[in-house]
Structure formats: C-alpha cells, structure tokens
Amino acid sequence: MKVLNARVEALLTTENPENFVTSRVPQIDLMYEGIPGDRHFGYTKLSNGRERMYPRGTEIRNRRQVSILSQEECDEAARRLGIKTIKPEWLGANMVISGFPSLSQLPSGSRILFPSGASLYCEGENFPCIYPGQIIQSYYEDIPKLPQRFVKEAYGLRGIVCSVEREGEIRPDSTIDIYVNLEWQGRNWVEGGTGCEVQ
Amino acid sequence: MKVLNARVEALLTTENPENFVTSRVPQIDLMYEGIPGDRHFGYTKLSNGRERMYPRGTEIRNRRQVSILSQEECDEAARRLGIKTIKPEWLGANMVISGFPSLSQLPSGSRILFPSGASLYCEGENFPCIYPGQIIQSYYEDIPKLPQRFVKEAYGLRGIVCSVEREGEIRPDSTIDIYVNLEWQGRNWVEGGTGCEVQ
C-alpha cells in the first residue's frame, strides 16, 4: 500500500435522518454502525439501484455509512456548472477533505486513518443522483436545469463512500493518512473467460 | 459487473474454534457476523500482520468471516508440491467451489450470490501462511519442507476471504452467481502523485 496525506476540513451529519442535507459538527464518534444519529447509521441498509444484484429493498450489510468529498473536486464541479460554490451540506456529505484532488478515484479497499486511531474503509466511488442537484438549484434559481446537469457534470467528482473499520473520535483540522489499495494495479480481467489473469 | 457461474462442492466449519482445521457440514446459515460456531465468526476481529496499518491486536471490523477455495487452484497447488491432494480441511477453508479456476484473482468488491438469496462480498485474495503447510506435512512425512514450500508454491492459489453481505442458508451442490467487480478495470494509480487517474 502507498500512504498519502490529506486534511479534514469539515465534518457533517444529518440533523434529521429524514432529511438528506447535513450540518457541520465539531466532532464525530465513529461506531461500527457508522455516525450516531446520521441518516446512514446502521449495520445494515435496504438495497437500492446501486446494488442491482439484489431486489430493491433487500436488507444487506451497510457499506455507505460515511460519505466523503474532496474540496478540490467540489470546486471543479461548481466551475463546470458555472456557479460560485457547491456546499458539502447540499450533497449530504459527512466529511470534506483537502489536499487530495482525485478522491473519487481512490480504489475500494483503501483505508483512511485518523489521529485517534479511528479508521474508515473505502467502499468505492459515490455517484451523482438528482436530489443534491435539486438542492443546488434552489440556491441558484436563475441557472437552468441544474439537477440534470449536476448528475452529468459531477460524475467522477462525487467523492467516496466508506464504512467504519475501527471506532474512534474524529475532528476537523486534522491530518489523515490514506493507505491506497493497489491490489488491482497491473491486473486486467479477461472478458469471456472463466476467471482473470495477472498481466 | 460481469456475472459468471460456479458450483459449490463443499461447505466446512471449524468444529472447535481453537483449531484451524475445518470439517464438512451439509448446510450453513450465514449471519452478518459470519458462520455461527466458526473460528472466524464476529463483527470484529483483532488485527494481525495482514492489516499492517494497525498495531497488532487492534479491534477492527471483521472482513475475513468466510474463506473460499477453488478446487482447480487446490489441485494446481498439490501438483506444484508433488503431492496427491490438498484437502480443503487442512487449509481451514469454509467453502470449495469448482468451475472458477482463477478464484484467487477475483477483485475485491465482487459478490457471490446463492440460490437462497444469501450473499458473500469478496474482501480480497487470501495469502498462504505456514500453518496449513504444517498440517499438509503431517500427512506427507516423507516429502521435505512442505510448510515453507507451501507458502511459496500456493501463492496466488489460496482463494479469497469474504464477509457476509446478505444473510441466508447455503448448501453444497448448488450453483452460484459471481458478480465480478470491474471498477478498477483500465485504471492505473499514478505513483508519486496526489491521486490517481483514469487512463
């Protein structure tokens, strides 16, 4: 694994689990179920269109406990949409980091370690859906079709989702260690075969 | 995702959690904690040399609940060692499948779905350690240095470890659907950069 650093700029949780939008908090105590009180808290969740191998609404293990945005990617998405800013609150993010401009490409299986020892496990890229775009639209009423454009323009810039690998306290203004999982490096799945091979 | 099929040949659990060796069972009821009664059952486990980002013995989420072997890979490992057979019991396996000769290369994030709807999530390749080699040695006393040779010769043939994504019953002699995670296909991490890029 390769280790890189980044900085926690903000932590956020949903004040009301019914509501997608998050609010800034000074500290989070990560549990194996996720962020206490947050919309995505739980060992399990109900499957949706992101897990198409299951009938919609199937109870499965929850891998989307914590969502993380890169400040640099957020700025780039705002630039592409021609708006001044996209607030992480509007996207329902739980964390914003800086100094890691390709967060959305971080491979599954990478780890993010905090000064307390708490740790998140990267479960893969997040993908834009239409709800955050509707919230962005409400702040920029003069700009047309932001919900639809957000889904397209924010693709590859929407950050990652994580599960908790080790419990503990996390705070803003701290430095994190990102252990990049390179297991797939140099591998290539062989289409049409019955397995894959290392090239 | 690409979907392939394979066949469950055997299911096994540890009779005594103190003992590494597994025994065949006619059915397993998968729980989110893993296989009831098995050595690797639990939401959490203590970290070891496989998770070097944590001090040894740190409580972390358990991703090694279920270990799976490919019959074809087992046969190849036996051939390389010059012995007649390697029994999955000796390796502490929980499942043996056939018809999937490159199981050890299955990318993390792939899913294995059973007829009941139960599902396992691939957490990555297993790596040979010296204990199974010592057990193999006890069955082939005339062949020198099997523990050390097993670690080397079985590398890349040791199968995968999984966690339970959906609870349910699993049985031998059933067909499984393997949803191969291809998210990393065509990507390449940029060494020395602050992120990675899609090529």
Chain A residues lying within 8 Å of B181, measured CB to CB: 108
In tens digits, chain B (199 residues) has pLDDT values of: 789 999 999 999 998 878 889 999 999 999 999 999 999 999 999 999 889 999 999 999 999 999 999 999 999 999 999 999 999 999 999 999 999 998 999 988 999 999 999 999 999 999 877 889 999 999 999 999 999 999 999 999 999 999 999 999 999 999 999 999 887 776 666 544 444 333 2
Residues forming beta bridges with residue A160, ordered by sequence position = A68, A125
Binned at pLDDT 50, 70 and 90, residue A185 comes out as confident
Of the candidates B124, B1, B120, the one whose C-alpha atom is nearest the C-alpha of residue A107 is: B124
Instruction: Look at residue A197 and tell me if it is in a domain.
Output: no
**Interface contact A147, partner B, CB < 8 A:** no
Identify the residue among B111, B165, B198 best suited for mutation to test binding to A, counting A beta carbons within 10 A and taking the highest. B165
Kindly state the tokens that stand for B5. 């099929």
Kindly state the tokens that stand for B46. 């203590």
Q: Check if the beta carbon of residue A127 is closer than 8 Å to that of residue A58.
A: no
The per-residue b/e assignment along B153-185, b for 16 or more CB within 10 angstroms, e otherwise, is bbeebbbbbbbbbbbbebebeeebebbbbbbbe
Instruction: Look at residue A191 and tell me if it is in a domain.
Output: no
B189/A107 touch (CB, cutoff 8 Å), yes or no: yes
In whole angstroms, give the CA distance from residue B199 to residue B185: 10
Instruction: Look at residue B146 and tell me if it is in a domain.
Output: yes
Instruction: Look at residue B193 and tell me if it is in a domain.
Output: no
How many distinct structural domains can be found in chain B?
Answer: 1
**Residue B47: what pLDDT?**
95
In whole angstroms, give the CA distance from residue B116 to residue B167: 9
Q: Predicted ipTM?
A: 0.89
DSSP string, B25-54: ES-EEEBTTBSTTSTT-SSEEE--TT-TTS
The predicted model gives A146-161 an average pLDDT of 93
The rounded radius of gyration (Å) of the Cα atoms in chain B is: 17
Binned at pLDDT 50, 70 and 90, residue A99 comes out as very high
Upper half-sphere CA count for residue A184 (Cβ side, 13 Å): 28
CA angle B50–B55–B59, rounded 5-degree value: 80
Chain A residues lying within 8 Å of B118, measured CB to CB: none
Identify the residue among A31, A60, A69, A178 best suited for mutation to test binding to B, counting B beta carbons within 10 A and taking the highest. A60
Domain that holds residue A58: 2-184
What number of other Cβ atoms are within 10 A of residue A106's Cβ?
A: 25
> What part of B 45-104 touches A (C-beta under 8 Å)?
53-54, 58-61, 99-103
The per-residue b/e assignment along A158-196, b for 16 or more CB within 10 angstroms, e otherwise, is bbbbbbbbbbbebebeeebebbbbbbbeeeebeeeeebb
Instruction: Look at residue A116 and tell me if it is in a domain.
Output: yes
**Interface contact A107, partner B, CB < 8 A:** yes
Backbone angles phi, psi at B150, to 5 degrees: -60, -45
A185 or B41: which leads in pLDDT: B41
Closest partner residue to B53 (CB to CB) among A99, A102, A113 is: A113
In whole angstroms, give the CA distance from residue B12 to residue B19: 13
**Residue B17: what pLDDT?**
78
Identify the residue among B47, B59, B61, B178 best suited for mutation to test binding to A, counting A beta carbons within 10 A and taking the highest. B61
**Residue A190: what pLDDT?**
58
Cα dihedral sign, A174-A179-A181-A185: positive
Instruction: Look at residue B109 and tell me if it is in a domain.
Output: yes
Q: Say which CATH number the domain at B81 has.
A: 2.40.33.20
A99/B194 touch (CB, cutoff 8 Å), yes or no: yes
Closest partner residue to B60 (CB to CB) among A54, A165, A194 is: A165
**pLDDT at residue A184 greater than cutoff 90:** no
CB-based contacts of A145: which residues, under 8 Å, 6+ apart? none
DSSP string, chain B: -EEEEEEEEEEEEESSTT-S-EEEES-EEEBTTBSTTSTT-SSEEE--TT-TTS-TT-EEE---SEEEEEHHHHHHHHHHHT-S---GGGGT-SEEEES-TTGGGPPTT-EEE-TTS-EEEEEEE----HHHHHHHHHH-TTSTTHHHHHHHHTTT-S-EEEEEEE-EEE-SS-EEEEEE--TTTTEEE-TTSSSEEE-
Question: Which amino acid makes up residue A29?
Answer: D
pLDDT over 90 for what percent of chain A?
79
**Residue A18: what pLDDT?**
81
Question: Which amino acid makes up residue A138?
Answer: S
Summarised one tens digit per residue, pLDDT across range A27-75 is 999 999 999 999 999 999 999 988 999 999 999 999 999 999 999 999 9
Closest partner residue to B53 (CB to CB) among A101, A179, A185 is: A179
Quickly list H helices, B124-199. Answer: 130-139, 146-153
Chain B residues lying within 8 Å of A109, measured CB to CB: 108-109, 123-124
Instruction: Look at residue A190 and tell me if it is in a domain.
Output: no
Question: How many angstroms separate the CA of residue A67 from the nearest CA in chain B?
Answer: 17
**Interface contact A155, partner B, CB < 8 A:** no
Closest partner residue to A100 (CB to CB) among B100, B111, B195 is: B195
By CA distance, what is A197's nearest residue in B? B105
Chain A residues lying within 8 Å of B99, measured CB to CB: 194
A60/B105 touch (CB, cutoff 8 Å), yes or no: no
Backbone angles phi, psi at B43, to 5 degrees: -65, -35
B187/A184 touch (CB, cutoff 8 Å), yes or no: yes
Upper half-sphere CA count for residue B141 (Cβ side, 13 Å): 1
Instruction: Look at residue B6 and tell me if it is in a domain.
Output: yes
Burial level of B12, CB count in 10 A (0-12/13-18/19+)?
A: buried
Chain B residues lying within 8 Å of A121, measured CB to CB: 61
Of A16-25, A35-44, A115-124, A158-167, least confident by mean pLDDT is A16-25
